[in-house]
Amino acid sequence: QVQLKESGPGLVQPSQTLSLTCTVSGFSLTSYHVHWVRQPPGRGLEWMGVIWNDGNTGYNSPLKPRLSISRDTSKSQVFLTMNSLQTEDTGIYYCNRMSPLGFDYWGQGVMVTVSS
């Protein structure tokens, strides 16, 4: 069955770099797009970016200078790297699969706290 699972450090110091991994199963990264969406505590959803099935990427403009999304298809993993973290980057980070049928599968999310 289709699964996505995020992993990464729960705590990051301000100005440091965040590295998250999304490990997928049940589908191929060359067939589906994988997105990253984040949610600050008690707030709504923010689309961060995508790695398309062809390996190209797209980013939300405010995050683009700091954000990079890549993948390793042999390991079925998608990576998010974001630098210069600030406290407002605190929140739950989700990876999800998208098809023309919408965001059809989501990971459980990983909580990231930016604090010294």
Partner 1 sequence: DVVMTQTPPSLSVAIGQSVSISCKSSQSLVYSDGKTYLHWLLQSPGRSPRRLIYQVSNLGSGVPDRFSGTGSQKDFTLKISRVEAEDLGVYYCAQTTHVPYTFGGGTKLELK
Q: Where on the chain is the footprint of partner 1 (CB under 8 A)?
A: 35, 37, 44-47, 50, 58-61, 94, 98, 100-104, 106-109
Nearer to partner 1, 60 or 76 (CB): 60
Kindly state the smallest distance separating residue 96's Cβ from partner 1, in Å.
8
Kindly state the smallest distance separating residue 97's Cβ from partner 1, in Å.
10
User: Phi, psi at residue 37, to the nearest 5°?
Assistant: -130, 140
Q: Do 65 and 8 touch, CB atoms closer than 8 A? A: no
The rounded distance, in Å, linking the Cα atoms of 29 and 17 is 25
Tell me how crowded residue 70 is: count the other CB atoms within 10 A of its CB: 12
Nearer to partner 1, 10 or 44 (CB): 44
Kindly state the smallest distance separating residue 64's Cβ from partner 1, in Å.
10
With H, G, I as helix, E, B as strand and everything else as coil, classify residue 73. helix
Nearer to partner 1, 65 or 101 (CB): 101
Q: For residue 33, give both structure tokens.
A: 């797009």
